[in-house]
Amino acid sequence: MHKTARYGSESCFICHLVPEFAKAHHWPSCEVNGQILIWYHCDGEDPQWAVPEQQEITKGEWVYRGRTEHYVNAHIQVRCIYVCVWICLQHVLACWDVKI
């Protein structure tokens, strides 16, 4: 069973059939620098500081130009081995006076 409740100028739906095991969590949040930031702490502590507002972002002097993401589909240990191989390869090629 649903009904609509009015709070000032806003209205929302209320459901009286919410199961007992249903839970909702609330985390502190803020909107700053054109982003919505949500604070989560594993022990439930409140934030110890606030995110400073950057005037350059607020005034539009600094703009978002995109992002780059790289996904490496490998086990974390394999990635470490590749780094070691790359370092060794650079050393070997440097001994032969080869530039990469």
Instruction: Tell me how far apart the alpha carbons of residues 91 and 85 are, in angstroms, rounded to a whole number.
Output: 10
Instruction: Tell me how far apart the alpha carbons of residues 1 and 28 are, in angstroms, rounded to a whole number.
Output: 31
Confidence (pLDDT) at 90: 74
Whole-number mean pLDDT of the chain? 77
The arithmetic mean of pLDDT across residues 78-83, rounded, is: 68
Helix %, strand %, coil % for the chain, to 5? 25, 20, 55
For the chain, how big is the Rg over CA atoms in Å?
A: 26
Helix (H, G, I), strand (E, B) or coil at 22: coil
Confidence (pLDDT) at 55: 92
- pTM for this prediction: 0.44
Residue 44 structure tokens: 């439930």
The arithmetic mean of pLDDT across residues 16-21, rounded, is: 74
Q: Kindly report which listed range (30-34, 40-44, 57-61, 69-73) carries the lowest average pLDDT score.
A: 69-73
